[in-house]
Chains A and B, each alone.
Chain A
Amino acid sequence: MIKRTLLGVAIAALALGTFGATSQDAKASDDNTLIIGTMWESQPLAMKPRRSRFFNESEILDTLVKLDYDLKPVPGLATSWERVSPTVWRFNLRGNVVFHDGTKLDAEAVKFSLERVVALLPYAADLLNIKSMTAVSPLVLEIENTEPYAALPNQLTDAITVVYAKSSFDEAGDFVKPVGTGPWKFEEYRKQDRTIVTRFDGYWGEKPALEKIVYRYIPDHNSRTLALEAGEIDFVTNMLPSDVKRLSKDADFKVYEQPTSGLYYGAFNAGDKSPLSDVRIRRAVNALVDRNLIVEGALDGIGEPAWEFFAPEFDWAPQADSKYSLNPERAASLLTDAGYEKTDGKWTKDGEQLTLRILSYTSRTEMPMITEAMAALLNQQGIATDVQMYTWGGMLDLVKRGEYDISVVFWTPEMTGHPDLHLKSQFHSKAGLNYQFWENTEFDAAVDTGRTLDAGTEKDATYKKAMNILHDDAPIIPLVHKVFVVASTKDVKGYRIHPSGFFFDFKNVSK
């Protein structure tokens, strides 16, 4: 018995100690193949709002409009676009574009694809706001919106609007596999293991240098980086902060860092079930948490402290007139106003300490750290916390029922270079993703109007108003602006992080 126990302990220790993926199959191969280790599984055979982003980031499929490295709209499958009437946009399509199945891209094909997207993906209808589509000529598509819709070209950069060939769907109109126009065509998918794409020689743009890209799914952060160091893969995403530091010092690897507009934030429950229904407490919490310490403590300094909603780097993003700041005195007076009293260093009301139930999820490894750091900072200020970690789905169940005070989440940077997507889908009182019971009619009006306005002072003023409401009424506590980090072996050349954080752009990469 003792022997067996000792053996068990030894095996357990070994398992803990190595963690490692040490499979021998894929020694990082020849010069024409790039192997990437990803945190999320690519799932190329499913079309889902979040997952089908892979089609765009891997460039199996193209969008009509793309974003350059400054997040400005640039031609994709559409070479130019113009507004022919307040509600109608005309897109001139690129000629000589063929899908991977050999069929030609024309206005009818784009129309068919966008119709499928709206039918199959829940939030596409609101994103695109389409009333009707007309193929005016083989290469001209007109999209009529239900209202004047200036945001449309930007919205068409969203990954979910990629253009699918007809053969991507079966006869019933259900998604089967991705057939697109991109430089890479879908080759093979091995469940829970990898997705392989190969170069498409009929691509309309410049021919990529690589022949094949393998997206390997390695969910464990330690294993993923180890795989890079062991030479099993060439490229790794979503690294742990401590690995970033180590690899930065190692001449065999290249580390790329780039701020993106991704935001870690605590979403407040503004409904009746939570003390945070009182705006004074929401503001107080915002004034009590030192974001610098969260970046330092939870992320080893990899990230930007977030005192505002949109990261300040992006000039298309509207900012409120003021930012949050660490201000315990102001928080104290807000809490006193709200009827709380500080006794023995604890904020209490009717003999009970102010206690916040904080939820988050574990599939992003940094979430527990960020959540715990925020909770610890609130504890130090006399606010008790009850932290619970769930799966994403488990957390969402509670959040939808209002059984929470703060849910710490990461808003994936599906940036379109336009504030509409972020603001309307998360905070509009009618938005499907607004689980915060936060309603503000002025804010609703501002974001409803903002998307219809052309660039100019009126648009800026409208969004500034929305941002000021968001700041003052404080439905969230912004915590950290994500700094996106990837690493590769030193042989990989030509890679650059796209600031959306969700676009690999391997066309220019070689080994």
Chain B
Amino acid sequence: MQKMSFTRGKLLGSSHHWRGYATFMIAVILAVLILPLFAPHDPHTVQFLYRLKPPSFDYPLGTDAMGRCVLSRLLYGARLTTASAMAVVVCASLIGSLIGAIAGMVGGVLDRAMMRFCEGMSVFPALAICMIIAGTLGLGLKAVIIALMCVHWTDYARVVRNAVIVERSKPYVMAAVALGARRHRIAVRHILPNIIGPLLTLSAYSMSWAILAFAGLSFLGLGVEPGTPEWGLMIAESRNYLRDYPRLVLAPGLTIAAFVVAVNLLGDMLGDRFRVRQINYLH
């Protein structure tokens, strides 16, 4: 038992955990690309004569107030939501990690300044900042992705910076320093591989955060164009029918919930594997 965990800890998890993660991500990406192919209808087709129909063989989840197929919209929405959330996570993790690594490696005034800035950012509610940024940039998918990224990179910066500082004092880094390795080489070759565990775990959690935030902002009317198949927007568009046709709100609502739970479970799994004790940086 002890031996196994020793190996894992040292080698950033044995190779099959890597494979597991990679397989899962590929599966998700494939699913997202392929899912719309299973959509029975065009998600944009409006049929006023066929509005608010109950589920049937033709329309497994029924139609919405504009006569559009709810299932098709959910499936297309999966692509949009996942792709956008991933864009947020990838960009935020790259930027945040870079800044966190620099802060951790350089230390001193730079480190303190950067961390105070990150803390300053986290004082404000993330969604409120997103709304301000997205509002300034104008409506649209891009604006929302940029806004989410802008508030989210600080989480990565803090995690990476702390991890770098912990790693930096370990003997293997000292050995590298003693051998005369340059700072960036130490960061990339020695430290990065050893902190990738927490980083991946964090990315899974932040994926679920991004999905929720994205749906939330769409619900509020920022983000995608009205009429776009997007989960948050579907809820917003159906809420006037909540009393009489709850399924219109429940379908996207439960989909979001299930998706977020799944991604969080993945995060937990990764956390267990990488023995990450505490990822509590997310709200």
* Residues of chain A having any CB pair with chain B under 8 Å: 1-2, 5-6, 9, 12-13, 16-17, 19, 221-222, 240, 242-243, 245-246, 293, 296-298, 362, 365, 368-369, 371-373, 375-377, 379-380, 386-390, 394
Contacts and interface: CB of A to CB of B under 8 A. Distances in A.
B74 to A, nearest CB: 16
A222 B268 CA distance: 38
Contacts of A394: 135
Given A2-B268, A372-B226, A373-B48, A242 B139 contact: no
Given A9-B257, A368-B226, A246 B243 contact: yes
Contacts of A380: 46
Given A16-B249, A380-B46, A387 B226 contact: yes
Contacts of A296: 48, 51
B244 A242 contact: yes
13 contacts: A5-B264, A222-B240, A222-B243, A240-B240, A242-B243, A245-B244, A246-B243, A297-B51, A372-B66, A372-B237, A373-B46, A376-B66, A389-B226
B261 A9 contact: yes
A9 B260 contact: yes
B243 A243 contact: yes
Interface string B112-147: 000000000000000000000001000100000000
B227 interface: yes
Given A5-B260, A297-B67, A372-B227, 15 more contacts: A5-B264, A6-B261, A9-B261, A13-B257, A222-B242, A222-B243, A242-B240, A245-B244, A246-B243, A296-B51, A369-B237, A376-B66, A389-B139, A389-B221, A389-B226
A297 B242 contact: no
Given A246-B243, A297-B67, A2 B265 contact: yes
Interface residues of B, number: 34
Nearest to A5: B264
A452 to B, nearest CB: 44
B221 A293 contact: no
B278 to A, nearest CB: 10
B264 A12 contact: no
A297 B66 contact: yes
Contacts of A387: 225-227
| A-B complex: 7 closest residue pairs judged by Cβ atoms | A376-B46, A297-B48, A293-B48, A9-B257, A5-B264, A387-B226, A242-B244
A19 B225 CA distance: 25
A245 to B, nearest CB: 8
A371 B237 CA distance: 12
A189 to B, nearest CB: 28
B138 to A, nearest CB: 9
Contacts of B253: 13, 16
Contacts of B260: 5, 9
B57 to A, nearest CB: 24
Contacts of B139: 388-390
B267 interface: yes
A5 B249 contact: no
Interface string B183-227: 000000000000000000000000010000000000001000111
Nearest to B222: A389
B59 interface: no
A417 B268 CA distance: 68
Interface string B158-193: 000000000000000000000000000000000000
A197 to B, nearest CB: 30
Interface string B48-72: 1001000000000000011100000
A296 B48 CA distance: 7
Contact of B261 (A5, A221, A243): A5
B235 interface: yes
Nearest to B261: A5
B65 A1 contact: no
Q: Which one of B44, B226, B241, B265 has the greatest number of beta carbons of chain A within 10 Å?
A: B226
Interface in B13-62: 44, 46, 48, 51
B239 interface: yes
B65 A369 contact: yes
Contact of A375 (B48, B227, B249, B268): B227
A2 B221 contact: no
A388 B225 CA distance: 6
A1 B209 CA distance: 13
Interface string B249-273: 1000100010011001101100100
B267 to A, nearest CB: 7
B133 to A, nearest CB: 15
Nearest to B279: A1
Contacts of A246: 243-244
Contacts of A240: 240
Contacts of B221: 362, 389
Nearest to A290: B48
Given A9-B257, A368-B226, A373-B48, A222 B239 contact: yes
Contacts of A369: 65, 237, 240
A386 B46 CA distance: 16
Contacts of B208: 5
Given A389-B139, A390-B139, A221 B225 contact: no
A53 B46 CA distance: 38
Contact of B65 (A293, A297, A371, A386): A297
Contacts of B243: 222, 242-243, 246
A238 to B, nearest CB: 12
Contacts of B271: 1
A376 B227 contact: yes
B242 A1 contact: no
Contacts of A245: 244
Contacts of A19: 239, 242
A85 B208 CA distance: 75
A1 B48 CA distance: 44
Contacts of B227: 372, 375-376, 387
Contact of A368 (B46, B237, B241, B265): B237
Contacts of A371: 226
B241 A242 contact: yes
Contacts of A379: 44, 46
Given A2-B268, A297-B48, A373 B225 contact: no
B241 to A, nearest CB: 6
B268 A386 contact: no
Contacts of B46: 297, 373, 376-377, 379-380
A281 to B, nearest CB: 22
A57 B241 CA distance: 30
Nearest to B240: A240
B277 to A, nearest CB: 12
A1 B270 CA distance: 13
A246 B267 CA distance: 45
A417 B265 CA distance: 65
Contacts of B257: 9, 12-13
Contacts of B225: 386-388
Nearest to B46: A376
A369 B193 CA distance: 51
